[in-house]
Structure formats: C-alpha cells, structure tokens
Amino acid sequence: MRGQKAKKRIMSPDPIFKSRVVTRTINKVMLHGEKAVAEGIVYSAIGSLAEDAKEALKMFEDAVKNVMPKQEVRSRRVGGATYQVPFPTKHERAEALAVRWIVDCARSRSGKPMHLRLVDELRNANSGIGDAIKKRDETHKMADANKAFSHFKF
C-alpha cells in the first residue's frame, strides 16, 4: 500500500429525523455549499411522501434499501488483461450508491421543481420501478455476467 488509509469521517444524523441516510441525501442534493436549500428540498420531499412523519421516513428508507446493490464489479488487472470482477458491496458503499443514483435520476428529469422530482423518484424506488432501480439491476446483471472471473478476487 502506498499511503496511509483514509480515516472514516463520522457523519452526524440530521436534526429532524435523526437519520444518517437523510444527512447523506442532503449532502448529495447540495450544490455550491448551499446546505439550507438542500435541506429544504429533502425535507419537503420526505414530507410529501406521506402524512405521518414516521411513515414518510420509513418510505424514504425503504426506497433507499430497494435501490441498494448487493454486488458490483471492480476492475482487476491480471497478466496484462483487465477483468471485471464481481464483489459483494459493503453496506456503507451500497447506501452511498443508492442515494447517489436516486438523486442523479431525480436531477436528470425535467419540467418540475427538484423536490417534486425527488418525490417521484423515491415513490418509484419504493414500488420497485424507475431509473434508480434500473441502474441497480444493470449493476447486478454486470456482476452476474462476469461471475466467471470471481476467482480473481483481491
């Protein structure tokens, strides 16, 4: 290993829902350091999911859980050739990918304000459809297609 391993930064839970996943989503939605704007977008999106705050948070967390990939592929160079080797995804990474995919898919839509696009994407992810779910399935398909190279694991 060349350098020192990066230290894990502890992410504090958000003040309203006391959830680290919500904090991660706020940080991903944030552009140009405008955290208050990002908080407004995420909180209004979660509030629009359901009437009850606890139920809305559960729907949000279920949507993220549905999008989380179980496997992904990583490049591994062996004898001059590069192979896509399937790896099980750690929980932290899977959660980060899920939040990233949801926010990116919401951003790629057009014609509505961001909090409504985020609501649509979360509802779709919760019911097992949508672009973020497609992205997860695509990742799983790649991992399944490259199962033959799983003996090249690190």
pLDDT confidence band for 149 (50 / 70 / 90): confident
Residue 55 covered by a domain: yes
- For 25, the domain range is 20-68+90-138
Is 52 part of a structural domain of the chain? yes
The closest alpha carbon to 70, from 88, 55, 53, 82, belongs to 88
CB 61 within 8 A of CB 21: yes
Q: What is the CATH number of the domain that holds 111?
A: 1.10.455.10
pTM here is 0.91
Mean pLDDT, to the nearest integer, of 27-45?
Answer: 97
**CB contact at 8 A, 27 and 36:** no
Half-sphere CA count of 147, side-chain side, radius 13 A = 4
**Total domains present in the chain:** 1
Q: Can you give the pLDDT at residue 1?
A: 65
Query: How crowded is residue 79: how many other Cβ atoms within 10 Å of its Cβ?
Result: 5
**Is residue 154 in a domain?**
no
